[in-house]
């Protein structure tokens, strides 16, 4: 077996499409156990059998997708007869047309001598942080399924996410001013950044994110915001994380409303070229009195986090996080990203990859 992954290794992240044509970022599956089967082609009988076994397991082991999901990687889509989505009915089938995933996971390796590369179908069991619990040849699938069935609930004994909560960054009157700006200054539906063909573009998808954003563009207000972050927040970031942010990306006031079903599904903030420089995300709530609208870090369990009005939740941009739907009222928040001079050089180097190829580079 050519695989080089062993228990404890983080499973490599990748983005691909499903047989159903949906885009899938593998890292977004974190938060539940994952059974990943690299099958290559179903024309190989043991792989067709494994596929059938996983389909049957959909009725029990993978019925609760908050506990565990199964994914199959195929290199040839036309060999996936009857493949179905979503995961509850059978494994999610991911395409690996250029073999990059198979190679990265060690399923495709050099043959002895000078022969063609050999495909060794593999099964991996991953924990809720997408770390390898076990990796085995596909004929050991049954054993992995047994092990999965015996695992404790995904977040038993979980400790809190490594986030920092800092109250008192903005005073109440300043919070009120910022909320008023959102109403008076106009707001636009909020998109999010996605990597498409090697470029970072803004996309809109109300299933993934519903929010209205107002950008503070005037220098005096940006100064007021920056001063408060430097004085009241940066010292605590330095204490907790030994990181000194020197730069702010986007002076953004956001509003999630219950009427619109405001939310932002699980994502990471720095997984595209155009966002790779982001180091820490900051969520400063400007009001209270709403329901829902909490932060959740699925890799660390179902626990919810909410900054008090004027207070911040600070977390590494690499952590998977979501803003849960606002179910009553409105949630206003100031949402900058922080980075430093070293990261600024990365941002500069990547500027040319932002926006569709024909466009000029976009800001933030």
Ligand X SMILES: O=C(O)CCC(=O)C(=O)O
By CB under 6 A, tell whether 161 contacts ligand X.
no
Would you say 96 or 322 has its CB closer to Fe ion? 322
Residue 335 touches which member of Fe ion, ligand X, none, C-beta under 5-8 Å by kind: ligand X
Nearest distance, CB of residue 335 and Fe ion, angstroms: 8
Q: Cβ-closest residue to ligand X?
A: 283
Residue 295 touches which member of Fe ion, ligand X, none, C-beta under 5-8 Å by kind: ligand X
Rounded distance between C-alpha atoms, residue 220 and residue 67, angstroms: 49
Total residues contacting ligand X (rule CB under 6 A)? Answer: 8
Rounded distance between C-alpha atoms, residue 295 and residue 317, angstroms: 13
Would you state the structure tokens that stand for residue 326, as one six-digit string?
């606002």
Q: Which of 87, 123, 138, 333 binds ligand X (CB under 6 A)?
A: 333
Nearest distance, CB of residue 264 and ligand X, angstroms: 5
By CB under 6 A, tell whether 271 contacts ligand X.
no
By CB under 6 A, tell whether 279 contacts ligand X.
no
Q: Is 135 helix (H, G, I), strand (E, B) or coil?
A: strand
- In order of 72, 73, 108, 125, 353, the CA distances from 96 in angstroms are 10, 6, 12, 19, 24
Rounded distance between C-alpha atoms, residue 143 and residue 29, angstroms: 22
Rounded distance between C-alpha atoms, residue 173 and residue 193, angstroms: 32
Largest CA distance in the chain: 73
By CB under 6 A, tell whether 257 contacts ligand X.
no
Would you say 75 or 283 has its CB closer to ligand X? 283
Nearest distance, CB of residue 261 and ligand X, angstroms: 14
Q: What angle do CA 77, 83, 89 make, to 5 degrees?
A: 150
Residue 314 touches which member of Fe ion, ligand X, none, C-beta under 5-8 Å by kind: none
Would you say 41 or 318 has its CB closer to Fe ion? 318
Total residues contacting Fe ion (rule CB under 5 A)? Answer: 1
By CB under 6 A, tell whether 266 contacts ligand X.
no
The answer, yes or no, to whether the previous bond of 323 is cis (omega within 30 of 0) is: no
Nearest distance, CB of residue 321 and ligand X, angstroms: 6
By CB under 6 A, tell whether 169 contacts ligand X.
no
By CB under 5 A, tell whether 127 contacts Fe ion.
no
By CB under 5 A, tell whether 294 contacts Fe ion.
no
Q: Which of 11, 36, 295, 343 binds ligand X (CB under 6 A)?
A: 295
The residues near 21 (Cβ < 8 Å, ≥ 6 apart) are: none
Rounded distance between C-alpha atoms, residue 1 and residue 73, angstroms: 17
Instruction: Give the x-and-dash track for 254-283 against Fe ion (CB under 5 A).
Output: ---------------x--------------
Residue 102 touches which member of ligand X, Fe ion, none, C-beta under 5-8 Å by kind: none
Cα 293 to the center of its chain, rounded Å: 18
By CB under 6 A, tell whether 323 contacts ligand X.
yes
92-111 per-residue burial string, b: 16 or more CB within 10 A, e: under 16: bbbbbeeeebbebbbbbbee
Q: Identify whether the C-beta of residue 258 lies closer than 8 Å to the C-beta of residue 292.
A: yes
Nearest distance, CB of residue 181 and ligand X, angstroms: 17
Rounded distance between C-alpha atoms, residue 12 and residue 148, angstroms: 20
Nearest distance, CB of residue 328 and ligand X, angstroms: 16
Q: Which of 257, 275, 283, 324 binds ligand X (CB under 6 A)?
A: 283
By CB under 6 A, tell whether 312 contacts ligand X.
no
Rounded distance between C-alpha atoms, residue 341 and residue 335, angstroms: 20
Rounded distance between C-alpha atoms, residue 26 and residue 266, angstroms: 12
Would you say 135 or 335 has its CB closer to ligand X? 335
Binding footprint of ligand X on the chain (CB under 6 A): 264, 269, 283, 295, 321, 323, 333, 335
């Amino acid at each position: 077996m050519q695989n080089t992954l062993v228990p404890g290794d983080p499973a490599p992240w990748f983005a691909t499409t499903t047989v159903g044509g949906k885009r899938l970022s593998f890292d977004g599956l974190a938060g539940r156990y994952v059974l990943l089967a690299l099958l290559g082609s179903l024309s190989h009988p043991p792989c067709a059998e494994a596929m059938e076994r996983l389909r049957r397991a959909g009725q029990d082991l993978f019925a609760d997708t908050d506990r565990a999901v199964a994914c199959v990687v195929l290199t040839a889509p036309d060999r996936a007869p009857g493949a179905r989505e979503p995961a509850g009915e059978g494994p999610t089938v991911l395409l690996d047309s250029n073999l990059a995933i198979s190679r990265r996971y060690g399923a495709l390796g050099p043959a002895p001598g000078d022969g063609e590369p050999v495909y060794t179908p593999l099964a991996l069991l991953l924990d809720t942080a997408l770390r390898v619990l076990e990796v085995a040849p596909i004929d050991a699938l049954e054993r992995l399924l047994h092990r999965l069935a015996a695992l404790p609930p995904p977040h038993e004994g979980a400790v809190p996410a490594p986030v920092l909560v800092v109250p008192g960054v903005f005073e109440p009157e300043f919070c009120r001013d910022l909320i008023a700006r959102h109403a008076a200054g106009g707001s636009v539906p909020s998109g999010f950044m996605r990597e498409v063909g090697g470029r970072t573009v803004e996309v809109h998808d109300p299933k993934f994110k519903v929010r209205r954003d107002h950008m503070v563009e005037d220098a005096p207000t940006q100064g007021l915001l920056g001063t408060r972050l430097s004085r009241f927040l940066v010292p605590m970031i330095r204490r907790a994380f030994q990181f000194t942010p020197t730069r702010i990306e986007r002076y953004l006031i956001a509003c999630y409303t219950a009427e619109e079903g405001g939310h932002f599904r699980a994502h990471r903030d720095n997984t595209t070229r155009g966002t790779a420089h982001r180091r820490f995300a900051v969520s400063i709530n400007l009001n209270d009195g709403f329901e829902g609208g909490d932060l959740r870090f699925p890799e660390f369990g179902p626990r919810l986090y909410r900054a008090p009005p004027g207070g911040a939740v600070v977390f590494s941009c690499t952590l998977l996080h979501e803003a849960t739907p606002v179910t009553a009222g409105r949630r206003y928040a100031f949402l900058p990203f922080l980075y430093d001079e070293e990261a600024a050089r990365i941002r500069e180097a990547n500027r040319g990859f932002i926006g569709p190829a024909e466009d000029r580079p976009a800001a933030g």
